[in-house]
Amino acid sequence: MAYPSLEACLIDLEKNGKLFRVTEEVDPNLEMAAIHLKVHEANGPAILFENVKGSPYRAASNIFGTLDRSKFIFRDTFETVQKLIELRNDPSKALRQPFKNISNGFAALKALPLKNPFQKPVLTSEINIGDLPLIQHWPMDGGAFVTLPQVYTEDLEHPGIMNSNLGMYRIQLSGNNYQLNKEIGLHYQLHRGIGVHQSIANNNNVPLKVSVFVGGPPSHTLAAVMPLPEGMSELTFAGILGGRRFRYFYQDGFCISADADFVITGEVHPGENKPEGPFGDHLGYYSLRHTFPLMRVHKVYAKKNAIWPFTVVGRPPQEDTSFGELIHALTGSAIQNEIPGLKEVHAVDAAGVHPLLLAVGSERYTPYMPAKQPSEILTIANHILGTGQLSLAKFLFITADDSNKLSASNVQSFLQFVLERIDLKRDIHFYTNTSIDTLDYSGTGLNMGSKVVFAAYGEIKRSLCKEIPDSLKELRDFVNPKLVMPGIVCMNAQKFTDYNNAKKELEIFNEQLVPEILNLKELPMIVVCDDSDFTAANLRNFLWVTFTRCNPAKDIYGIDSFYENKHWGCKGPVVIDARIKPHHAPPVEKDAATEKRIERIFNKGGSLYGCI
């Protein structure tokens, strides 16, 4: 249905048993986030906090907590959006079946944003930042953050709403050196449209006007994270998905969403930055304090009975996982149509999304050759690593399956398929000294690190071991081997100190295993870690530890490795050093005292008793 507001959505969820109210006073400092995490982990309902300590406003979370609930929210427009995206990928379908697709054309009319010059704005209350629910999510966070913002900017040289950018970039409201009510922090990462807008403003030596919308119809929130083609306005997508045109007006030169619950306006001046963070982020670690743009607050608006939406991120899966699933369900084969030969791509949520990407491609270049080996999939891999958010992938495993039975979504089966076929002397390709995800601290600096492609195709080269090889059971300094899955073993090593020492340790490891290479032919991968029991306990742990704690060019070794024509390979197993390094960010951990305090909400008599 076309929700005109966030509250309309929440009322609908409650009527259908998908929302619970918390009537007790709850502290925005850690308690609200802890309650959210507990409910989300249990696949529980959306939550409406009616009594937020220190703020006159209500707050809501876990709105998009499951894929089913997200689909329920957009149940009346979901198929229409899918069809419109499909038509964009193949416009000829509209010509072949014009009457069948005419309804999609009418739906697309909702895409055009609606300026409200005559309607009295509903955002009549001017408030301060300090009036908002100042939610601190994790114990080491630098302050309170907005975690579901819709950050709006325009192109100075081509102004207007159709050339705007709407993105979800976290906002720090308090803490550090920010002057409360006057300054907030604007954090954005690589490959974000706002960066283009700020560069243009800086080149013209003028401040960038920024509007932060919070709340409003849920389609506005999803539009802010939708990976749309450059030049296509997120606001048009919000209108189609919400079944209602995006309504806006201008105040003091700033664009204002007429349907938002809150709007923060301000300016980012050239060269003005301040430290932002730390913040417990979606990789399961803290993103640390770094310099990011400072936004000078102009005004803060709130509608009557406004509701503050928020989410909590941390070690996946969290609520943002549902965003990813919903986007995938909506876009279907859009990425495959953009990259020739690509059949499927899967960003692995358990590994933090960007650290690990799995892809299935095609091999059509040399069908006349008797030997099958990677060819076209290498071209596809380069295309993937040059495409939008996919370019942030750190590990890319890619293969082709002539039987068309392999799915990249089945992570364990996919990895085993690749490891059965990979030629470790030929099929590992590094990209050194390149950009990586801003939130990934495994690299050599902020946004700096390396990538690696494992590209495998052809006949099966090995059976994967299903037991730990005897060669790994009596090694010096490398102990407690555990089988993660067929073909992968993890082992404990001494605590990582520095790279010089690590190189010596892995040389000793290599010396011990080179004589045993023939006994390791069924083992293509060894992971060196801090806690092999934890790493091997389940697939989720293995993926998180291995791919979030490794900088490929520095942390991948190989038994009996070599260089040939500047290509690296190994004759024995590839070795990934997934130990925590001194420069890594600390993992997020719950606060025990807070966990005890929130029990009152879940015990008998509490608002959430029986909801999970």
Q: Which of 243, 277, 310 is the last residue of a domain?
A: 310
210 belongs to a structural domain: yes
Give the CA count within 13 Å in the CB-facing half-sphere of 612. 20
What CATH code is carried by the domain that includes residue 216? 2.30.110.10
Q: Which of 310, 331, 362 is the last residue of a domain?
A: 310
Let me know whether 105 and 245 are in one domain.
yes
Let me know whether 109 and 218 are in one domain.
yes
- CB-CB contact of 70 with 77 (8 Å): no
Q: What is the pLDDT of residue 228?
A: 72
What CATH code is carried by the domain that includes residue 339? 3.40.1670.10
Rg of the chain, C-alpha, whole Å: 25
Residue 195 structure tokens: 């960066």
Q: What is the pLDDT of residue 131?
A: 98
Let me know whether 426 and 384 are in one domain.
yes
Position of tokens 């870690």? Answer: 529
Q: What angle do CA 467, 473, 476 make, to 5 degrees?
A: 150
- One-letter amino acid at 314 equals G
What distance in Å separates the CA atoms of residue 117 and residue 258, rounded to the nearest whole number? 11
445 belongs to a structural domain: yes
Let me know whether 295 and 155 are in one domain.
yes
What distance in Å separates the CA atoms of residue 83 and residue 66, rounded to the nearest whole number? 23
- CB-CB contact of 238 with 225 (8 Å): no
What distance in Å separates the CA atoms of residue 261 and residue 263, rounded to the nearest whole number? 7
Cβ-proximal residues to 202 (8 Å cutoff; 6+ apart), any chain: 208, 270, 271
589 belongs to a structural domain: no
Q: What is the pLDDT of residue 108?
A: 67
Q: What is the pLDDT of residue 96?
A: 40
Read off the pLDDT of residues 235-261 as tens digits, 9 standing for 90 and up. Answer: 999 999 999 999 999 999 999 999 999
Let me know whether 333 and 450 are in one domain.
yes
Let me know whether 568 and 513 are in one domain.
yes
Q: What angle do CA 347, 348, 352 make, to 5 degrees?
A: 100
Q: What is the pLDDT of residue 95?
A: 37
Q: Which of 310, 336, 365 is the last residue of a domain?
A: 310
Let me know whether 230 and 274 are in one domain.
yes
Cβ-proximal residues to 276 (8 Å cutoff; 6+ apart), any chain: 142, 172, 176, 185, 186, 187, 289, 290, 291, 292
Q: Fill in the DSSP letter of residue 218.
A: H
What CATH code is carried by the domain that includes residue 492? 3.40.1670
What distance in Å separates the CA atoms of residue 390 and residue 250, rounded to the nearest whole number? 35
pTM: 0.91
> What is the side-by-side order of every strand in the sheet holding 19-22?
19-22, 46-49, 58-61, 307-310
Residue 275: φ, ψ to 5°: -65, 135
- CB-CB contact of 402 with 543 (8 Å): no
Axis-axis angle for helices 78-89, 319-331 (nearest 10): 50
Domain count of the fold of the chain: 3
Give the DSSP H/E element, type plus range, for residue 171. Answer: strand 171-172
Let me know whether 331 and 442 are in one domain.
yes
What distance in Å separates the CA atoms of residue 218 and residue 64, rounded to the nearest whole number? 9
Residue 41 structure tokens: 């982990």
Q: Domain range for residue 109?
A: 73-310
Q: What is the pLDDT of residue 435?
A: 85
584 belongs to a structural domain: no
Burial class (CB in 10 A: 0-12, 13-18, 19+), 277: buried
500 belongs to a structural domain: yes
Let me know whether 304 and 327 are in one domain.
no
- CB-CB contact of 524 with 556 (8 Å): no
> Which stretches in the chain have pLDDT values below 50?
91-103
Let me know whether 150 and 277 are in one domain.
yes
What distance in Å separates the CA atoms of residue 309 and residue 148, rounded to the nearest whole number? 7
Let me know whether 104 and 231 are in one domain.
yes
Let me know whether 421 and 522 are in one domain.
no
556 belongs to a structural domain: yes
In b/e form, how buried is each residue of 288-318, taking b as 16+ CB within 10 angstroms?
Answer: beeebbbbbbbbbbbbeebbbbbbbbbbbbb
108 belongs to a structural domain: yes
Burial class (CB in 10 A: 0-12, 13-18, 19+), 219: buried
348 belongs to a structural domain: yes
